[in-house]
Amino acid sequence: MIRRFDADNFHRLCDTLAKRDADLKRILREHGHPKMWVRPNSFQTLILTILEQQVSLAAAYAAFNRLKNKIGTVTPEKIAALSDSELKDCYFTRQKIVYARELTEAVRSKRIRLRALYHQPDEDVREQLIELKGIGHWTIDVYLMHALRRTDLFPLGDIALVNSLKRNKDLPDSVSKEKMLSVAEAWRPNRTIAAMILWHDYMNRRKVKVKD
């Protein structure tokens, strides 16, 4: 069974978690409900997610906005038509140029069909995307969470999420991945929602604004 969140159930899922977890309840009491951070299930979304890898949100959006100002809506055909130099001028690193071209080829050749992924289980989506160079588990987790709206992801590759988890659960800096996953286990099958609440706390404390 594929579980998704949407505008009709998102606040209810947040409140259900808060009833079971005092720390999440405190975040909601202090900051209110988080924004339902979603993106279209599109090629453009995956390009943005690639740009977000291992950089700040500000740096990722600077590159993404420069790209959009140059070509408008980001499509495989438009990316394929750009030279490496033009992508570099949009702040793509050498590695991310390779990743963008790999994704472009996969979508144009229909090796990856984004619309079909919407209807497939999480692990089937992961198995297909992980084959693409530059698409790792963090990128897939973010895509599943924000584009496919799946309810039970918890990407420990995300530094902001890890830092918020440590702060709100009073975990030591040296805490193991296994321990963090065991803490998140209590939030199944809604770990995505818990992650959004933790991100909400992190961003409010640092006054970070997230664009759609």
The pLDDT, as a whole number, for residue 210 is: 63
Whole-angstrom distance, CA of residue 82 vs CA of residue 79: 5
Whole-angstrom distance, CA of residue 152 vs CA of residue 155: 10
Per the CB < 8 A criterion, the answer to whether 142 and 114 are in contact is no
Q: Say which range, 1-5, 60-64, 177-181, 208-212, has the weakest mean pLDDT.
A: 208-212
Per the CB < 8 A criterion, the answer to whether 78 and 114 are in contact is no
> Which residue is it, tokens 């530094």?
159
pLDDT digits (tens, 9 = 90+) for 13-22: 999 999 999 9
Question: Domains (ranges, CATH) in the chain?
Answer: 10-36+153-206 (1.10.1670), 43-146 (1.10.340.30)
The pLDDT, as a whole number, for residue 57 is: 84
Whole-angstrom distance, CA of residue 133 vs CA of residue 193: 29
* 87-98 b/e (C-beta count within 10 Å ≥ 16 → b): beebbbeeebbe
- Under the banding of pLDDT at 50, 70 and 90, the label for residue 211 is low
Burial of 109 by CB count in 10 Å (0-12 exposed, 13-18 middle, 19+ buried)?
Answer: exposed
Using a pLDDT cut of 70, give the percent of the chain over it: 98
Whole-angstrom distance, CA of residue 204 vs CA of residue 194: 15
State how far the alpha carbon of 9 is from the alpha carbons of 12, 49, 153, 191, 198, in Å: 5, 25, 17, 15, 18
The partner residues of 150 in beta bridges, in order of sequence, read 4
Please determine, for residue 212, whether its predicted confidence score (pLDDT) is greater than 60: no
The pLDDT, as a whole number, for residue 109 is: 97
* Mean local confidence (pLDDT), 163-178: 97
Token code pair at residue 113: 């069909």
